[in-house]
Structure 1
Amino acid sequence: MFRTEVQVAPSGLALGLQDNVVTIGSCFADVIGTKLQQHKVDVLVNPFGTIFNPVSVSLLLKAASGQPYDFEQHLVQNNGIWYAYDLHSSFSSPSKDDLIAQIQQRLQTTSEALQQASLLIITLGTALAYKLNTTGAVVANCHKLPSKNFTRTLLSSEEIILAFEDMYSLLKMINPQLRVLLTVSPVRHIKETIEMNSVSKSVLRVMCHQLTQLHEDVLYFPAYEIMLDDLRDYRFYKHDMLHPTETAEDYIWQKFIAAYYDKEFSQFTQDWEKVQRALTHRAFHPASEAHQTFLRRALKQLQQLEQKYKISTAAEAAQFKAQLQ
């Protein structure tokens, strides 16, 4: 044994294909959310774009849960484009009214998803945040405005927990059955220096531990520990030496579904990954009888999976049928 494997205890959730999910937070929320989407789960992935700090995450979830918040008072114009301090830069427009409409539409979509979801996954990136000097409010994004407009601050675990508790009570009002899964992103934020990244991740980890002790339906998934301790080798990092490789993401994904999903879903993922491989197959001779037989067999397998797991395979079937002659 040349490694220390992180064992993730079964959670008892036993989620299935019919359980809806919402993910929010850092880029790791995109990774898990996209994996779920690829495996036919109804999931809303990072509806407000990448959000790194937990106070901003809590603010957006509170707004989506119905707490009044005047986003218009937190907009800024830069080079003719309007941005929202509380959201990712992908939410922007030359028109202020259009940006407000974008935000309201996304809040409505997120509210509906949260009411139907069985699980909310919150991935926290950093406890280092920036406060707007004119108001003292924590911002989710500085939108490349002058650094003199902001003050960098290290959020305390007490400050983060207070924001979470306010948000949590609102979530439970709109969906009493919702479970919350906290993760700390394994991506290091070295632009804040390696030393401060360690401090930041420590604050987040302590906060997650405290919240799981306070609430029975708040869980923690150790993606951070899996990456740093289990996959303790730079071959599991991309060229930037910060983000996990596809191999590392797949390994963490397998740990995730083993802990939170039922055995039927695990079997489905194996069956579905065969379909995904078939979809990426490119034949040297598309009109050959061998390839046409391959396509017909794939369509039959799709039909069987659709009946067995009660899923829609129309999009995948269309891709195969387009190649039939």
Structure 2
Amino acid sequence: MQFHTELTPDSLPCQLDLNSRIVTLGSCFADVMGQRLLDAKLMVLNNPFGTIFNPVSISKLVTMALSGTAPAESGYLERDGIWFHYDFHSSLWAHSRDELETKLVRTLQQTGDALRRADCLLLTLGSAVVYRHKATGEVVANCHKMPGQLFEKYLYQIDHLRDSLTTLVRLLSRANPALRIVVTVSPVRHTRDTLPLNQVSKSMLRVLAHELTSWRDTVHYFPAYELMMDDLRDYRFYDADLIHPNAQAHDYIFGKFAESAFTPELRAFVAEWQRVRQALDHRPLHGGTTTADRQFLTQLVARLEKLAERVDTSAELSDVRSRLLRIQAGYQNELNTLTT
């Protein structure tokens, strides 16, 4: 008996392994997936521009990164002593305009370099609703809590979105012919746009994602949106706001992504690493002073040293060795106390 409509995505033609170089760009779902990939010890540049919802802004930023173009002078703004730029998320800020410019130029350079070397780009489209800054006529990536009357909000025309995404894919292909692009549509609903408009927006993005995969053999689709809307069709898989998927949903969708995009060897490694992470999170009940505690940490060091042949475990090894030294020091102090 089945209690939900399970969706099993097809295997992606671009299979990831431990040596794959990955970039994630787009909405907050790109952040989530990127962090899961980082937690699995993959090489990831995770959403370097911050949360960017609309394809127009994503395309603009990637073009800047690959062409070496500096952020537009008209995009800088100051609010409450903090500087932002309309083309970037508010997580990129500074105390002065010059400091912010330096940070943004460095971010663009790093992203351009990463895209030229990457094996896979995970691109998550969030919304077809955009905000245009009236004074400049430019679509912004983030309004940075500036007064609403400065912007015009509207649903971008599908033909213009198609042009932006097609140009983006062509640009990426020229910069890195070996790059494979995995497109997803964010399952997070934009209720501020109203649910009817959100549905139109998501539908447009889904159509465009389908067209991109039909026209280009370097572009592939992963059904994150369908997994959330159809497979996990229950509010127990949402956070308290009833909009964002919760950790259980993220685990499920990432598991489906791993089945679809990871080589068998990488899936085996991720399973082993997950067991190691659980061991790293373990804290002894009795202060870590028993022989069993010392033996547990010694064995954990051995496991991490073996994994170090494949991935960087230096931070984890440093932590466990420090814990082991503290236990051994405490044990020696107890012995000294008993013998005096």
Instruction: Pick the TM interval, shorter chain.
Output: over 0.9
Who wins on radius of gyration, i.e. which is larger?
Answer: 2
Determine which of 279, 294, 298 is the counterpart of 2:296.
Answer: 294
- Conservation of the 8 A alpha-carbon contact between 2:64 and 2:71: no
Corresponding position of 2:256 = 255
Per the TM alignment, residue 93 of structure 1 is displaced from its structure 2 partner at its CA by: 2.3
- Conservation of the 8 A alpha-carbon contact between 2:75 and 2:85: yes
**Does 1:185 pair with 2:192?**
no
Per the TM alignment, residue 16 of structure 1 is displaced from its structure 2 partner at its CA by: 0.2
Tell me the distance in 2 between the aligned counterparts of 1:277 and 1:89.
33
- Conservation of the 8 A alpha-carbon contact between 1:22 and 1:44: yes
**Does 1:84 pair with 2:88?**
no
Q: Tell me, what secondary structure is at the counterpart of 2:127?
A: coil
Letter in 2 for 1:311: V
Corresponding position of 1:145 = 146
Corresponding position of 1:175 = 176
Tell me the distance in 2 between the aligned counterparts of 1:67 and 1:296.
49
- Conservation of the 8 A alpha-carbon contact between 1:71 and 1:100: no
Corresponding position of 1:33 = 34
- RMSD across aligned positions (CA): 1.2
How does 1:226-241 map onto structure 2 within 5 Å? 226-241=227-242
Unmatched segments (≥5 aa) in structure 2: 329-340
Tell me the distance in 1 between the aligned counterparts of 2:98 and 2:167.
29
- Conservation of the 8 A alpha-carbon contact between 1:182 and 1:208: yes
How does 1:57-68 map onto structure 2 within 5 Å? 57-66=58-67, 68=69
Tell me the distance in 2 between the aligned counterparts of 1:234 and 1:258.
24
Compute the TM-score of the two structures, normalised by the length of structure 2: 0.92
More displaced, 164-173 or 42-51?
Answer: 164-173
Letter in 2 for 1:290: A
Corresponding position of 1:105 = 106
How does 1:239-318 map onto structure 2 within 5 Å? 239-285=240-286, 286-307=288-309, 310-318=310-318
Q: Tell me, what secondary structure is at the counterpart of 2:73?
A: helix
Compute the TM-score of the two structures, normalised by the length of structure 1: 0.96
Unmatched segments (≥5 aa) in structure 1: none
CA gap of 1:67–1:102, structure 2 versus 1, over 3 A, is closer
Q: Tell me, what secondary structure is at the counterpart of 2:197?
A: helix
- Conservation of the 8 A alpha-carbon contact between 2:74 and 2:136: no
Tell me the distance in 1 between the aligned counterparts of 2:40 and 2:7.
24
State the identity as a percent.
Answer: 43
Tell me the distance in 1 between the aligned counterparts of 2:52 and 2:20.
24
Tell me the distance in 2 between the aligned counterparts of 1:318 and 1:47.
28
Tell me the distance in 1 between the aligned counterparts of 2:216 and 2:70.
26
List per-residue Cα deviations over 1:260-284 (Å, max 9, x = no partner). Answer: 1100000001100011001110101
Which segments of structure 1 move beyond 4 Å, counting only runs of 4 or more?
Answer: none
Corresponding position of 2:155 = 154
More displaced, 41-50 or 70-79?
Answer: 70-79
- Conservation of the 8 A alpha-carbon contact between 1:212 and 1:218: yes
Tell me the distance in 1 between the aligned counterparts of 2:261 and 2:20.
11
Per the TM alignment, residue 70 of structure 1 is displaced from its structure 2 partner at its CA by: 4.3
Question: How many residue pairs get matched?
Answer: 323
- Conservation of the 8 A alpha-carbon contact between 1:54 and 1:127: yes
Corresponding position of 1:125 = 126
Corresponding position of 1:319 = 319
List per-residue Cα deviations over 1:140-194 (Å, max 9, x = no partner). Answer: 0111111111111101221112112222222122211001111111111111111
